[in-house]
Amino acid sequence: MTIHKEGYPSILITTIFVVLINFLTNRFAPDIVWLQYLVWAFSLFLMVVILQFFRHPDKHIEINENNIIAPADGKVVVIEETTEDEYLKDRRIQVSIFMSPLNVHVNRYPISGILRFVKFHPGKFLVAWHPKSSTENERTTIVLENAKGQQFLIRQIAGALARRIVWYGKENQTVKQGSELGFIKFGSRVDIFLPLGTKVTANINDVVTGGKTVIATL
């Protein structure tokens, strides 16, 4: 278990804040014992929360080109047939995974292939389960093409708390199944649009693990 690199700035800011409030408490209220304990408890709670959020567990990824693995840790909240209007322009099976602040927030590629399209969209910060969040929220759209020429669209979506989406891939880059796609800070959602005919093995309310859980098979 390590700390993800995206967490370093947040951890530094939190540490400075904790040191500052403890210094000020000791400086201006040294005789108020209950306040000292309260500040210590709050400081410990804050550091534990921020460290657990940016945790980065080691994972052994089993490569299988016939499997679609979960791109994120979280709960499956949507499985439905829909039209993807941004890039693919056709009917797809959408699978959406909601990440709470308690989940690991590393996003991973569900298959191996070549990145055909990568685009960031600024937008709103509606709650991640809002019906319009996938089209109106800040988001990143990534299209991945496997060795068979099948295309899969992955969308990182910001939420009410998630104010920063990070992605690492560039167009025409070759990526490996399970490798890091990016990171979303403080909870949100990842959608994946699968070709019709893909056998979805996940169910609504399933708790899945990014890079591990098989959510569909080709």
- Laid out side by side, the sheet with 214-217 consists of 67-69, 214-217, 199-200
| 72/139 same-domain check | yes
| 39/141 same-domain check | no
Cα–Cα distances (Å) from 198 to 10, 123, 164, 182, 216, in that order, read 39, 31, 31, 25, 7
188 is catalytic: yes
Identify the H or E element spanning 181: strand 180-184
Residues 85-113 pLDDT 10s: 999 999 999 999 998 888 888 999 999 99
**185 contacts 163 by C-beta, under 8 angstroms:** yes
Q: Is the pLDDT of residue 190 over 80?
A: yes
| 51/79 same-domain check | no
| 96/174 same-domain check | yes
- Residue 61 counted as domain residue: no
| 98/198 same-domain check | yes
pLDDT score, position 133: 56
Say whether 185 sits in a helix, a strand or coil: coil
- Residue 31 counted as domain residue: yes
| 192/211 same-domain check | yes
Runs of H (alpha helix) within the chain: 8-28, 33-53, 133-136
| 125/175 same-domain check | yes
Percent of the chain residues past pLDDT 90, beyond the cut = 66
Q: Any long-range contacts for 39-43 (C-beta under 8 Å, 24+ apart)? A: 43/18
Given the residues 96, 133, 134, 188, the one annotated as active site: 188
Residues 194-217 pLDDT 10s: 999 999 999 999 999 999 999 999
User: Which residues have CB under 8 Å from 60's CB, separation 6+?
Assistant: none
pLDDT score, position 20: 96
| 113/213 same-domain check | yes
Count CA atoms closer than 13 A to 86's CA, side-chain side. Answer: 18
Domain count, the chain: 2
pLDDT score, position 129: 56
Domain containing 196 — which CATH number? 2.70.70.10
Q: Is the pLDDT of residue 62 over 60?
A: yes
Query: Cα(192)–Cα(113) distance, rounded to whole angstroms?
Result: 15
Residues 112-139 pLDDT 10s: 999 999 999 886 656 555 555 566 678 8
> Which range is least confidently modeled, 85-99, 133-147, 157-171, 183-197?
157-171
Q: Report residue 196 CA to chain centroid gap.
A: 25
Query: Cα(175)–Cα(113) distance, rounded to whole angstroms?
Result: 6
| 36/15 same-domain check | yes
> Which range is least confidently modeled, 78-92, 136-150, 168-182?
136-150
- Share the mean pLDDT of the chain: 89
Q: What is the pTM of this model?
A: 0.85
Q: 25 is in which domain, residue-wise?
A: 2-56
